[in-house]
Amino acid sequence: MKKIAVLTSGGDAPGMNAALRAVVRYALYKGLDVYGVERGYTGLINGDISRFNSRSVSDIINRGGTMLKTSRCPEFITEEGRRSAYETLSAYGITGLVVIGGDGSFRGANALASEFDVKVAGIPGTIDNDLNYTDYTLGFDTAVNTAVSAINNLRDTMGSHDRVSMLEVMGRGCGDIALYAGIAGGAEYVIIPEVPYDLDGICRDIKSSQKRGKTSNMIILAEGAGNKDEIVAQIKEKTGVSVKTTTLGHIQRGGSPTQFDRVLAARMAVKAVDLLCSEAESSLIGIRHNEITADPISVALAMPKRFDEELYSIAHILSL
């Protein structure tokens, strides 16, 4: 393996830049030529590719987003699109590709690697933490910290006015951002897609906590778990309490990555480049029990959904 390329694909996440920097610098350290591809698979198809040196990735470790930019690329879902992408790689003599992205990007990477003579190493970059083969994805820790900071601010004002507040956070079909932020922010309720919510229970608790003199409550809602407006309308109907709602939105997808995401990015990048230099097949890099892992892409993508029931029950117990 002499020449490798690196791209970011799908939704951006804090820590993607730190991973890109580490891939480039570790590859150079190993004596490889390394190329950066702009705008994910779109750039690969269009030939937006250039040779990187150590300076190409200066001053990005602290930045959210991705300096390579990213894209969703419908063309890559077709074999013809992937052939064009492969032609770009082959024109440069590139035989290894690091893909920093999420689930969809890795399905694309798997197809590319099985159809053409290119080896792929995938680094999980998404705030959602929704990849089953890894305990953490890049960007998740930063997004949770952003959500906790929002909760802290909301607590100040909601507590001052004896209000009930609902903060909606992202996560697509995964409740991890809501669960971790809820525990770290001391929320009373966490509503996540993995567990059907008990509206009557929530209403009962709001009423009984008010009787106990607790006049302010914080509900964290994962975006995939229910409709915010419908839930607050139902709470109003059953309790008479008006809930103030906030949607954190894309604010949680940006921002300077935490040390956790930066160190994870460095560890995963080193494993990804080592994998490309080895005899191992195309794989996804992850972390389980603090060990950096590499699993064949189809094996990693087929791992069953994990859900930390113990953590969910801790969130509930501590809110009582």
Q: Tell which one of 26, 35, 52, 76 touches ligand ADP (CB under 6 A).
A: 76
Q: Give the nearer residue to ligand ADP in terms of CB position, either 9 or 129.
A: 9
Asked if 127 and 143 count as a contact pair (C-beta separation under 8 A), the reply is yes
Q: Tell which one of 5, 6, 7, 10 touches ligand ADP (CB under 6 A).
A: 10
Q: Give the nearer residue to ligand ADP in terms of CB position, either 99 or 183.
A: 99
Asked if 187 and 202 count as a contact pair (C-beta separation under 8 A), the reply is no
Active site residue 128: yes
Q: Which of 258, 1, 277, 10 is nearest to 123 (CA)?
A: 10
- Examine residue 72 and tell whether it contacts ligand ADP (CB under 6 A): yes
The span from the CA of 224 to the CA of 185, in Å, is 20
- Examine residue 217 and tell whether it contacts ligand ADP (CB under 6 A): no
Q: Give the nearer residue to ligand F6P in terms of CB position, either 21 or 253.
A: 253
Q: What is the 3-state secondary structure (H, E, C) of 145-158?
A: HHHHHHHHHHHHHH
Q: How far is the CB of 137 from ligand F6P (least distance, A)?
A: 10
The span from the CA of 25 to the CA of 54, in Å, is 6
Residues 6+ apart with CB under 8 A from 137: 13, 102, 124, 125, 126, 127, 128, 129, 130, 131
Q: Tell which one of 104, 186, 254, 255 touches ligand ADP (CB under 6 A).
A: 104
Q: Tell which one of 127, 203, 235, 273 touches ligand F6P (CB under 6 A).
A: 127
- Examine residue 11 and tell whether it contacts ligand F6P (CB under 6 A): yes
Q: How far is the CB of 266 from ligand F6P (least distance, A)?
A: 22
The span from the CA of 268 to the CA of 261, in Å, is 10
- Applying CB under 6 A, which residues contact ligand ADP? 9-11, 41, 72-73, 76-77, 101-105, 107-108, 111, 126
- Active site (catalytic) residues: 128
